[in-house]
Amino acid sequence: MADRILWLDEDSVTQELAEKYLKASYSLHFFSDLSDARDYLYLQDCPLVVCSSGIPCNGETSPVRRIAEASPESSILYLYTEAEENTVLDAVRDGADHVLVKPFTQDQLQFMIQILFESYHRNLKGRRDDLKFQEEAQKTSEELKRANKNLREIRTYLDNLLNSSMDSILTVNRDFYITYANKGTSLMMGYSADVLMGLPFGSFLQGGENESEQLRQQLETAPIQNYSTEMLHEDGHFIPVIISLSRVCKPSGEVVSILAIIKDITEQKELENALKEKSITDDLTGLFNQRYFYEQLLSEMERSKRQNHPLSLLLFDVDHFKQYNDTYGHLEGNAVLKSIGDMVRESTRSYVDIGCRYGGDEFTIILPETGMHHAFNIAERLRNSFATRKFDHCTLSIGLITYDSDFTAETFIRYADEMMYLAKRSGGNQICAFTEERKAEQQEG
């Protein structure tokens, strides 16, 4: 389709020349009235308007300006005669893109028209490119808004998801400095998330930075699952935890952060300790049981030999217990045994001495770092304490022995047992110690 030109001119001669010169290449539309030309421009796109200086105009606004207002995107060529040269500057100010003096030659007109159309098409392409760019920018902006909204929604969802966990969830950077902490961390450790930000992860581990560095090196080869340690609570005590660590990487493989999931196992540890305690404790007396006695005796014998510290052992039972039990019944008999448990705890050192129910009415006490003389005083205290409880004719017969590096666990217990029965055969309610003299007698026998 040929480019359209609106030619506004009262001079019929000029119109005839224009038609002669341009009709073959362009679609020409001639007007002699400004109002008619403006009405046409409102209805049709017209890339080029040729406006002659002789067009009458009502009011103060020039024809060029009226055309420019009616069709802002049209290029305007202003025609004038040499006598009207003084109107050129005003025409350019009002919106004319080029001017051409009349009379003009065919070459002059065609060259000027060509320049104006080239300029128009460049401008049109520029406007279209600008419009396309604006549309693309608007589309991109809307997509970014949607993406940002989605990201905010995902972030909110993830925050809610992470904060709904009772476990501590942390992220740390490659240098093991904390970059994120969920609410579970605050509940578990007592610190607010703001306090934790930027602090080294190792400052909360029981093993400090050394432990943190070991974890970092181990993480280089594989994720860490259920690593058992303790972490520092805000109030200063350590919490037993298990930690799982994994690296968060970009598609390229670059590590961007490290995810730590930390589970408080305090209740689990307490349950384990309670079960362990139950498995090694005598239900009736609350003392340790025979199995635990054997384990600890071997351990303390080894420690005594290694550190060259004394170790003594008491083995005792209740004189006339069967008679008491038959007379008063098992409940009263159990009361005697429970009383011995209380008495042992009162007469020995907590977390050092090891009191055990050996079986029936027999009891034993392991006395670490205790020589013969001190052990005899403890045994005497036990004997007197039991006597004051006045269980009829019940008394204690106590065998006492101090460890010798030549002893095995079997001989250690056997000699203590022999001393207890010696005390019982000697009338009961007394202490018999395995002295050097008795040791010599055993060796001679």
User: Are 177 and 303 part of one and the same domain?
Assistant: no
Q: Is residue 294 part of a domain?
A: yes
User: Are 284 and 427 part of one and the same domain?
Assistant: yes
User: Are 253 and 288 part of one and the same domain?
Assistant: no
Q: 431 and 379 in contact (C-beta within 8 Å)?
A: yes
What is the number of domains present in the chain?
A: 3
**β-strand pairing of 362-368 with 255-264:** unpaired
Q: Is residue 113 part of a domain?
A: yes
Q: Is residue 232 part of a domain?
A: yes
CA 285 to chain centre: 48
Q: 6 and 49 in contact (C-beta within 8 Å)?
A: yes
User: Are 390 and 250 part of one and the same domain?
Assistant: no
Read off the pTM.
0.55
- Of the candidates 414, 422, 381, 394, the one whose C-alpha atom is nearest the C-alpha of residue 318 is 394
User: Are 378 and 243 part of one and the same domain?
Assistant: no
Distance CA 189, CA 183 (A): 10
pLDDT at 250: 85
Per residue of the chain (445 residues), what is the pLDDT tens digit? 678 999 999 888 888 898 899 988 899 999 999 999 999 999 988 899 999 988 887 766 789 999 999 999 899 999 998 888 888 998 999 999 999 998 888 899 899 999 998 888 888 788 888 888 888 888 988 889 988 888 888 877 777 777 677 788 899 998 999 999 888 888 889 898 889 999 999 999 999 999 999 999 999 889 999 999 999 999 999 999 999 999 988 888 888 899 999 998 988 888 888 888 888 999 999 999 999 999 999 999 999 999 999 999 999 999 999 999 999 999 999 999 999 999 999 999 988 999 999 999 999 999 999 999 999 999 999 999 999 988 888 999 999 999 998 899 999 999 999 999 999 999 999 999 998 777 766 666 5
Q: 397 and 319 in contact (C-beta within 8 Å)?
A: yes
Q: Is residue 147 part of a domain?
A: no
Query: Mind spelling out the 3-state secondary structure of 204-253?
Result: HECCHHHHHHHHHHHHCCCCEEEEEEEEECCCCCEEEEEEEEEEEECCCC
Query: Mind spelling out the 3-state secondary structure of 360-412?
Result: CCEEEEEEECCCHHHHHHHHHHHHHHHHHCCCCCCEEEEEEEECCCCCCHHHH
Q: Is residue 133 part of a domain?
A: no
* Tokens describing residue 290: 């025979």
pLDDT at 442: 65
User: Are 438 and 292 part of one and the same domain?
Assistant: yes
Distance CA 248, CA 255 (A): 6
103-107, Cβ contacts within 8 angstroms, sequence gap of 24 or more:
104/79, 106/17, 106/20, 106/21
User: Are 284 and 262 part of one and the same domain?
Assistant: no
How many other CB atoms are there within 10 angstroms of residue 64's CB atom?
24
Q: Give the domain-ending residue among 235, 266, 297.
A: 266
φ/ψ of 238, rounded to 5, equals -100, 140
Supply the range of the domain harboring residue 343.
280-444
User: Are 299 and 430 part of one and the same domain?
Assistant: yes
How many other CB atoms are there within 10 angstroms of residue 330's CB atom?
9
User: Are 245 and 370 part of one and the same domain?
Assistant: no
Q: Give the domain-ending residue among 266, 298, 329.
A: 266
User: Are 11 and 70 part of one and the same domain?
Assistant: yes
- Residue 102, H or E segment: strand 98-102
In 103-167, the DSSP E strands lie at: none
- CB-based burial of residue 144 (10 Å sphere; 0-12 exposed, 13-18 middle, 19+ buried)? exposed
- Of the candidates 22, 133, 121, 109, the one whose C-alpha atom is nearest the C-alpha of residue 73 is 121
Q: Is residue 163 part of a domain?
A: no
Distance CA 311, CA 300 (A): 8
**In sequence order, what are the residues at sequence separation of 6 or more whose Cβ sits closer than 8 angstroms to the Cβ of residue 22?**
5, 28, 109, 110, 113
User: Are 288 and 426 part of one and the same domain?
Assistant: yes
pLDDT at 59: 65
Q: What CATH number does residue 230 fall under?
A: 3.30.450.20
Q: Give the domain-ending residue among 214, 231, 266.
A: 266
- Of the candidates 281, 279, 239, the one whose C-alpha atom is nearest the C-alpha of residue 263 is 239
User: Are 117 and 173 part of one and the same domain?
Assistant: no
